[in-house]
Amino acid sequence: MEGNSNQEFLIIGPTASGKSFLSHEWAKKHDGVVISADSRQSYKMLSIGTAKPSEKMLQEVEYFNISQFFPNEKDDAVSFLNRIEKWKKQIKKPIVYAGGSTLYQQALVFGFSDIPSRNDENQAELERIENEKGLNYLFEWLQKVDLEYSRKMDGLNRHRIYRALDVFMQTNKPFSSYHEEEQKSPRIPVFQIQTDRDILKERIKKRVAEMFDDGLIAEVQFILSEGYNFDDPGMQTIGYQEWQLFLEGKKNIKEMEELIATKTWQYAKRQLTWMKKWDFAIPIVLNEANIQETINQIDSYLQSK
C-alpha cells in the first residue's frame, strides 16, 4: 500500500519510547520518507549517543535531517523549518516526522511568530556574564524569566540559553511565548506513543548500556581528536557532555553509564510533562512484536480524515 504523497504527520513520545522504530516501519510500508525532528541527529559524528538510524535503515528508507552539521556549528528550530520547506519541494512521498526535540516538534505543529534576530551586543554581554559567573548562573536566570523553555532543553545547552535570554533582553517577553502564540490548531496530525514509566525507565537503561557496548566512549574520543570540544553546540548533548567528567578522572566507566542513564531518564520525564499540554495528540500503543497493529492504528485515523 502506498501513502498519499501529500500526507505528513508527527510521532511524539519520550526518548526510548520507540518513535524511530515506528516511523521507520510506517515509512517502509507506505513508501514514505522520515524527517528526523531530533536536533542532535542533525550533527555529523554524533551517531551512537543520538541513536541515529543504522546503515540498514538508511538503505530501506530515505531520511532527512541526519548528519547535516559539524559539531561546532549552530542549528535551531527556525532553520529546521526552513530546511523542511526546501526538502518538501523535492519530496513526492508521504512524510513522517519523528524525534524527541520539543522545540522542533513545536515548530512543526504550530510554526513560530516573528522572533527577533540575534543581537550581537546582548550575546557579548551574556558571554561576559558567563565568563564571570558561569553557565549555571545564566541557566538560573533563564529559569526565572522563562521556566517553560528551560524545561524543554536537553541539558545545559549554551546556544539555546543565549538565544532565549537574548530575546528576553530585547523584548522583555519569554522566548517560549513566541511558540505559544501560534497554538490555535495543529497544522499536521500528531500521534503520541503511550508509555508505562517503569517500562520506559528500563528501556532507557538498556539503551544506554547498548550505547556503551557499541563504543560510545570511542565515538566521543574520535570527535575530540578531530578538534571539537565540549563547548561546541553538538557536544552539549546528553550522552556526550558528561564525558568531560570521565576525562578529568572524576567518574569511572560504570559511574558514567549510571550518570547518562539518570540524565536521560530526567530528560524523558520533562518530555512527558511537556507533552501533557498536547491533548489533541492521538494516543497510540506501540506493539513492537506486531508492528502492523500499530501501523493500522495510524492508518485508520489518517484514512478517516
- Report pLDDT digits (tens) over 124-165: 999 999 999 999 999 999 999 999 888 877 667 888 899 899
- pLDDT for res 66: 98
How much is the mean pLDDT over the chain? 91
- pLDDT for res 175: 85
**Start-end ranges of CATH 1.10.20.140 in the chain?**
120-180
C-alpha distances (whole Å) from 22 to each of 94, 217, 305 are 15, 28, 21
**Start-end ranges of CATH 3.40.50.300 in the chain?**
8-112+182-304
- pLDDT for res 181: 46
Fold type of domain 120-180: Histone, subunit A (1.10.20)
Per-residue exposure over 105-136, b if at least 16 CB sit within 10 Å of its own CB, e if not: bbbbbbbeeebeeeeeebeeebeeebeeeebe
Instruction: Give me the count of residues in the chain.
Output: 305
Q: How far apart are the first and last CA of the chain?
A: 18
CATH architecture of 8-112+182-304: 3-Layer(aba) Sandwich (3.40)
283 forms beta bridges with 192
- Residues of the chain with pLDDT below 70 are 1-5, 113-114, 154-155, 179-184
Distance between CA atoms of 247 and 273, rounded to whole angstroms?
33
